[in-house]
Amino acid sequence: MRTQVAIIGAGPAGLLLGQLLYEAGIDNIIFEQRSPDYVLGRIRAGVLEQVTVDLLAQAKADKRMLAEGLPHDGIELLFGGKRHRIDLHELTGGKRVMVYGQTEVTRDLMEARKRAGLLTVYEAQNVTPLEFGSERPRVRYEKDGQQHEISCDFIAGCDGFHGVCRASIPADSIRNYEKVYPFGWLGILADVPPVSHELIYAHTERGFALCSQRSATRSRYYLQVPLTDKVENWSDEAFWDELRLRLDPEARANLVTGASLEKSIAPLRSFVSEPMRFGRMFLAGDAAHIVPPTGAKGLNLAASDVGYLSRAFAEFYQQRSSEGIDRYSEVSLRRVWKAERFSWWMTSLMHRFPDSGDFDRKVQEAELDYLVHSRAGATSLAENYVGLPLN
Ligand code: FAD
Ligand code: DHB
């Protein structure tokens, strides 16, 4: 069997790439090690930049998002016991973000792929990219005890942080940059109305908290917790009690609690692997980089990577030009590093660091105070939060 682009991984990066290529007339097959239900069971990101919304429109997978997603014009920063609104819409000349869960984005892309009749091999075992240094790469995998091989023109490594693609690259051809943070996020999903109609990012003496949402009746909340904490030791009651302590009096009074639908702890990490291309294999999304979630950039970066990559493949097939694929790594990394900077900065600003002293905390508070009282400061935050334009 043969295809033009073999995509490894059916997360948002792989699925969106598949639809963008299909719309450009480029044949592709996706290989995914898990089942569709497993992929849909992962509760992750919730905020989409306009760039991501536009790419979902280009992929013809935006209908439900436009009907059910929640456009947000602002966010709130809570510190010193008070909330301060950042007016994203006004500060960026009319831009906003869309609150719509990663699970729903994934479901919509899966549906679009099904409608287009494109092949996704789920529960593929031992997926291996082969010969990507040559003109004739292949992908080998096992399914139901049988080994198969597909030849292709290109391999797209969309297989996340723990995937096989980056791990297959010789160590002397790759450079990794990493920062690990000394805390994690405990997240909870519950069918209760959100505490406020906009997202609240809270900096408190007890640590960071985030109030997010999925709909008028479903909320997503996060608490900064020590890395040593185990999710089994956090009852729903304990979560709500701790969240209450990190909110302002009005939000505390508005908080509606209920049984959790999902509860998990995610470690926080900044990571970039350079370059993002090795011969005929291209890395995209979490396979190439990780951001701490404070800036809401992980899913959006996965989308912009595959936006660049699909454009590069379209140039290759339609205009016989290699310029786009030759520049992919450099162009993507410029955007990646700006999102890395913003995510690191938001994380440093909003969290309580175990080793920071009184001086560091005073500087954090001064910066927050500056941000909400300076148009220049607030504009910089807003411009990055809604997302920088594609180059
Ligand atoms: P993934 O979603 O990881 O998809 C990769 C796919 O490849 C998976 O389906 C995987 O099963 C498959 N795969 C892996 N290895 C193989 C293999 N060997 N063979 C075949 N298939 C393989 N971002 C935010 O902005 N906000 C958040 O709150 C947030 N929370 C997160 C919580 C957690 C626990 C994690 C892990 C991430 C979170 N993120 C968040 C980041 C965001 O979800 C990711 O940036 C986004 O999922 C990246 O999409 P992706 O398609 O690149 O990778
Ligand atoms: C969500 C997650 C984030 O990391 C963030 O910054 C905003 C929202 C969410 O899951 O809704």
Stretch 373-391: mean pLDDT, rounded?
A: 96
Q: Is residue 331 part of a domain?
A: yes
Place of tokens 């400061």: 377
Pocket test for ligand 1, best of 109, 299, 384 (most atoms within 8 A of CB): 299
The string of pLDDT tens digits covering residues 77-129 is 999 999 999 999 999 999 999 999 999 999 999 999 999 999 999 999 999 99
The total number of structural domains that make up the chain? 1
pLDDT at position 206 = 97
Ligand nearest 46 Cα, by number?
Answer: 2
Residue nearest to atom 3 of ligand 2 (CA): 296
Using pLDDT thresholds of 50, 70 and 90, give the confidence band for residue 45. Answer: very high
Q: Is residue 298 part of a domain?
A: yes
Q: Which amino acid is at 183?
A: F
Q: What span, in angstroms and rounded, lies between the C-alpha atoms of 36 and 278?
A: 29
Average pLDDT of every residue of the chain: 97
Q: Which two tokens stand for residue 273?
A: 């692997």
Stretch 354-359: mean pLDDT, rounded?
A: 94
Alpha carbon separation from 287 to 143, 157, 262, 339 (Å, rounded): 23, 7, 25, 16
Using pLDDT thresholds of 50, 70 and 90, give the confidence band for residue 358. Answer: very high
The string of pLDDT tens digits covering residues 279-330 is 999 999 999 999 999 999 999 999 999 999 999 999 999 999 999 999 999 9
Alpha carbon separation from 218 to 44, 197, 262, 288 (Å, rounded): 14, 12, 12, 32
Q: Is residue 23 part of a domain?
A: yes
Q: Is residue 153 part of a domain?
A: yes
Q: What span, in angstroms and rounded, lies between the C-alpha atoms of 261 and 282?
A: 36
pLDDT at position 391 = 76
Q: Is residue 240 part of a domain?
A: no
Stretch 127-145: mean pLDDT, rounded?
A: 97
Find, among 234, 222, 226, the residue nearest to 190 by Cα. 222
Q: Is the CB of 32 under 6 A from ligand 1?
A: yes
Which CATH number do you get for residue 344?
3.50.50.60
For the cut 80, the answer to whether the pLDDT of residue 265 exceeds it is: yes
For the cut 80, the answer to whether the pLDDT of residue 351 exceeds it is: yes
Domain with 325 in it: 5-46+101-178+269-349
What separation in Å is there between the alpha carbon of 65 and the centre of ligand 2? 17
